[in-house]
Amino acid sequence: MPYKLIVFDWDGTLMDSEARIVACIQAAFSDLDLPLPTPEAARDIIGLGLDEALAVLMPESGPEGRRALIERYRHHFLVANETPSYLFPGAVETLDWLRSRGHLLAVATGKSRRGLDLVLDSTGLGGHFQATRCADETFSKPHPAMLLELMDELGVRGAETLMVGDTEYDMQMAHNAGACALAVCYGVHSPERLLAQGPLGCLADLVDMPAWLERRRRLDRDGEELT
């Protein structure tokens, strides 16, 4: 197989949680009587670790100000906000197919450990992944630490690792870690932004991934051009 390890971003790649994240960011700013970021600005930082994301949205804030925002955001995301989030169509079937083909699976996400554990439990997908990394455990994307730690834990080289994500931060992290990158163009960043980072492809739908991987196998075997 061309990739022993396939690492997924979570929000915007496996789960459609954009509306919930944007609502919780705006609620956190409102709680502290701060000017609300636009939905577009809040959407654009999805994928970063929470501290790094808030530093982008409020660059004049110091660590103490960001800690207060993080506390309010987590209150809304974990407790108060009821905006539903759903797995993208075909996510479970794609993960099942990858497992059946012997791929190791992992998650590298800007979510907190508490937040990721919550959604892994609620979706029943925890058992699908051999390892996971969250932004509050190591450096945020696009720093390569999450991928490097996952590869080291699972004994896989960069050339054997495929990072799948919906943001330029995912693509940059893969490049920084010496891994391969595959974009999905239904998430928060536009196909143009994603393709500017040089991924191997940009999928319109997650269910297209098995066919894409099969074409990669033929390319590796026969030198066939991948389109």
Is residue 205 part of the annotated active site? The answer reads: no
Q: Which residues pair with 183 in a beta bridge?
A: 165, 202
Residues 6+ apart with CB under 8 A from 32: 68, 69, 72
Phi, psi of 124 (to 5 degrees): 75, 20
Q: Assign residue 178 a region: left if phi > 0, alpha if psi is -120 to 50, beta otherwise?
A: left
State both tokens at 152.
Answer: 């080291």
Is residue 11 part of the annotated active site? The answer reads: yes
Per annotation, catalytic residue among 9, 44, 166, 170: 9
Per annotation, catalytic residue among 11, 16, 44, 166: 11
State both tokens at 36.
Answer: 């609300």
Specify the DSSP class assigned to residue 135: T
How many Å apart are CA 131 and CA 83, to the nearest integer? 28
- Report the residue count for the chain: 227
Please report which helix (H) or strand (E) contains residue 19, including its range.
helix 18-31
Q: Assign residue 161 a region: left if phi > 0, alpha if psi is -120 to 50, beta otherwise?
A: beta
How many Å apart are CA 192 and CA 99, to the nearest integer? 31
How many Å apart are CA 181 and CA 195, to the nearest integer? 11
Please identify every residue annotated as catalytic. Answer: 9, 11
